[in-house]
């Protein structure tokens, strides 16, 4: 048996006729940029998230950067971001000329540690970007209350959490605005790069929309300098088809996670956990072990693909060497990065493959209960 890390082809086959028809329709009408299909997807996505406005753009990184720019964040400003995330989050902050300020992560939830944010707030802090990492919503009540106390803007990075829910609220609806990525491997993915922003703030949506299209309010009416970051029509058509399946795919991911947890409950590894008021959508299923190299090699030999998200937390990647950040300031993420393994996770993963993965992990790690007895 072999188990891939993700299987986008299996997903395509499951929706082939719908998606082929949607793409063919773009070709038949020669509509490639903008148009009614893009507008339709924006409306559908805003309604799915429960936000008033959705502005599509070229990719998830742009969606963070464009929102920061539209919020007026720039040189001299500081923006709080988690230490463990994909680099887009901090990159977007630097791209608008502001400075990312890293905060360590929660030891069990792996999202930004809300008890460590306040000490990083200065007179220059303008915003917080909570990242709903791996599909688990951040502790938003605490983040929003800090934001009120210090008058900070909150930009939710929802790139890994389409459809996740925190205390009855969908991610993307709690901050001032939110960014989404539709990179092909995300829970909702296009067939290339794509992204979107959502907000209830009409002015912010309008500015962000202008930035995506050369600062134009109407054709040739450039109110400002913007850029070219647009959602291609073909991607919008694909996303409209896929959005209808998202809840179903997310529940399959959740049941795969439940099976993993059940079958691995005695294995000598740390499983993901989430508070009962949060609905985790498991973009990734991340476990921790002291024997990462051994477990990954063993699984590779058994034809099971795994990955690491991410091999280094951001304070310690070369790009941020100049900040001279110390491991002591990031005690959780600096250890976490050395123990994590992402297991295969996608909606089409079958029960027999899930069992095979868990058996091979238990074979390598042994059972925690046995270890305790020895
Ligand atoms: C994927 C991702 C992004 C950016 O998405 P792209 O569409 O690849 O630019 C941003 N933040 C996080 C946390 C991500 O995982």
Instruction: Indicate whether residue 181 lines ligand 1 (CB < 6 A).
Output: yes
Q: Residue 328 above 90 pLDDT?
A: yes
CA of 203 to the centre of ligand 1 (A): 25
pLDDT average, residue stretch 117-128: 98
Nearest CA to ligand 1 atom 14: 159
Best substitution site from 63, 89, 314, 345 to test ligand 1's pocket, by max atoms within 8 Å of Cβ?
Answer: 89
Q: Give the closest residue (by CA) to ligand 1 atom 6.
A: 60
pLDDT of the residue at 367: 74
The response to whether residue 131 sits with its C-beta less than 6 Å from ligand 1 reads yes
Cα 88 to middle of ligand 1, angstroms: 6
Place of tokens 């929102």: 67
Over residues 289-302, mean pLDDT: 97
pLDDT of residue 369: 59
Beta bridge partners of 55: 197
Atom of ligand 1 nearest to the CA of 183: 7
What is the Cα–Cα distance from 337 to 354, expressed in whole angstroms?
24
CA of 195, closest atom in ligand 1: 7
> Average pLDDT of 358-374?
76
Find the farthest-apart pair of alpha carbons in the chain and give their distance in angstroms, rounded. Answer: 75
Question: Would the CB of 85 count as within 6 Å of ligand 1?
Answer: yes
**Using an 8 Å Cβ cutoff, are 285 and 346 in contact?**
no
Instruction: Tell me how far apart the alpha carbons of residues 29 and 27 are, in angstroms, rounded to a whole number.
Output: 5
Burial of 282 (0-12, 13-18, 19+ CB in 10 A): buried
Q: How far is the centre of ligand 1, averaged over its atoms, from the C-alpha of 221 (Å)? A: 31
Distance between Cα 301 and ligand 1 center (Å):
30
Quick: pLDDT tens for 47-70: 999 999 999 999 999 999 999 999
How large is the average pLDDT for residues 132-146?
98
- In percent, how much of the chain has pLDDT > 90? 97
For residue 236, the CA-to-ligand 1 centroid distance in Å is 18
Per-residue model confidence as pLDDT tens digits over 205-214: 999 999 999 9
Residue 26: pLDDT over 70: yes
pTM of the model: 0.97
Q: How far is the CA of 371 from the centre of ligand 1 (A)?
A: 39
Asked if residue 117 has pLDDT above 80, the reply is: yes
- 308-342 core/surface letters (b: 16 or more CB in 10 A; e: else): ebbebbbbbeeebeeeebeeeebebbbebbebbbb
Report whether residue 59 contacts ligand 1, using a CB cutoff of 6 Å: yes
What integer is the mean pLDDT of 261-284? 97
Confidence of residue 366 (pLDDT cuts 50, 70, 90): confident
Looking at residue 180, its pLDDT comes to 99
Q: What separation in angstroms does the CA of 17 have from each of 22, 32, 50, 187, 322? A: 9, 20, 29, 20, 51
Confidence at residue 196, expressed as pLDDT on a 0 to 100 scale: 98
Question: pLDDT by residue (tens digit) across 224-268?
Answer: 999 999 999 999 999 999 999 999 999 999 999 999 999 999 999
Alpha carbon distances (Å) from 147 to 25, 150, 266, 355: 45, 5, 41, 44
Is 160 close to ligand 1, i.e. is its CB under 6 Å away?
Answer: yes
* Residue 308 CA from chain centroid, whole number: 15
Is ligand 1 within 6 A of the CB of residue 60?
yes
For a ligand 1 pocket test, name from 57, 183, 231, 283 the mutation site with the most ligand atoms within 8 angstroms of its C-beta. Answer: 183
Q: Is the pLDDT of residue 372 over 60?
A: no
Cβ atoms 331, 107 nearer than 8 A: no
Q: Is 226 in the pocket of ligand 1 (CB under 6 A)?
A: no
Checking if the pLDDT of 324 tops 70, the result is: yes
Q: What is the pLDDT of residue 221?
A: 97
| 110 within ligand 1 shell (Cβ under 6 A) | no
Q: Which whole-number Å values give the CA distances from 372 to 102, 266, 267, in the listed order?
A: 37, 11, 12
Residues in the chain: 374
The answer on pLDDT for 370 being more than 90 is no
């Amino acid at each position: 048996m072999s188990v891939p890390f993700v299987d986008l082809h299996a997903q395509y086959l499951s929706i082939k006729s719908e998606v082929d028809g949607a793409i063919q329709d773009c070709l038949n009408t020669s509509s490639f940029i903008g148009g009614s299909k893009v507008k339709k997807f924006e409306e559908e996505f805003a309604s799915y998230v429960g936000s008033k406005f959705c502005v599509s753009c070229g990719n998830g990184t742009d969606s963070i950067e464009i929102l920061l720019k539209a919020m007026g964040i720039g040189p001299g400003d500081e923006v709080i971001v988690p230490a463990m995330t994909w680099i887009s989050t901090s990159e977007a902050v630097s791209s608008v000329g502001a400075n990312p300020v890293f905060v360590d992560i929660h030891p069990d939830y792996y999202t930004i540690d809300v008890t460590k944010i306040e000490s990083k707030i200065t007179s220059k802090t303008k915003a917080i970007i909570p990242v709903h990492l791996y599909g688990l919503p951040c502790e938003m009540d605490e983040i929003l209350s800090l934001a009120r106390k210090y008058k900070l803007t909150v930009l939710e990075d929802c790139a890994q959490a389409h459809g996740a829910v925190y205390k009855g609220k969908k991610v993307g609806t709690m901050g001032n605005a939110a960014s989404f990525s539709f990179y092909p491997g995300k829970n909702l993915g296009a067939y290339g790069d794509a992204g979107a922003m959502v907000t209830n703030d009409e002015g912010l949506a309008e500015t962000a929309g202008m930035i995506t299209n050369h600062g134009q309010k109407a054709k040739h009416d450039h109110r400002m300098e913007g850029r070219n970051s647009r959602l291609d029509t073909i991607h919008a058509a694909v996303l409209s088809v896929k959005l209808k399946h998202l809840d179903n795919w997310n529940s399959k991911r959740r049941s795969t996670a439940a099976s993993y947890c059940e079958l691995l409950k005695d294995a000598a590894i740390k499983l993901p956990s989430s508070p009962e008021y949060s609905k985790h959508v498991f973009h990734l299923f991340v476990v921790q072990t002291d024997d990462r190299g051994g477990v990954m090699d063993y699984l590779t030999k058994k034809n099971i693909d795994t990955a690491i998200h991410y091999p280094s937390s951001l304070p310690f990647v070369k790009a941020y060497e100049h900040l001279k950040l110390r491991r002591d300031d990031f005690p959780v993420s600096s250890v976490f990065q050395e123990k994590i393994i992402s297991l295969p996770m996608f909606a089409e993963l079958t029960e027999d493959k899930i069992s095979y993965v868990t058996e091979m992990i238990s074979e390598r790690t042994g059972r925690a209960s046995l270890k305790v007895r020895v």
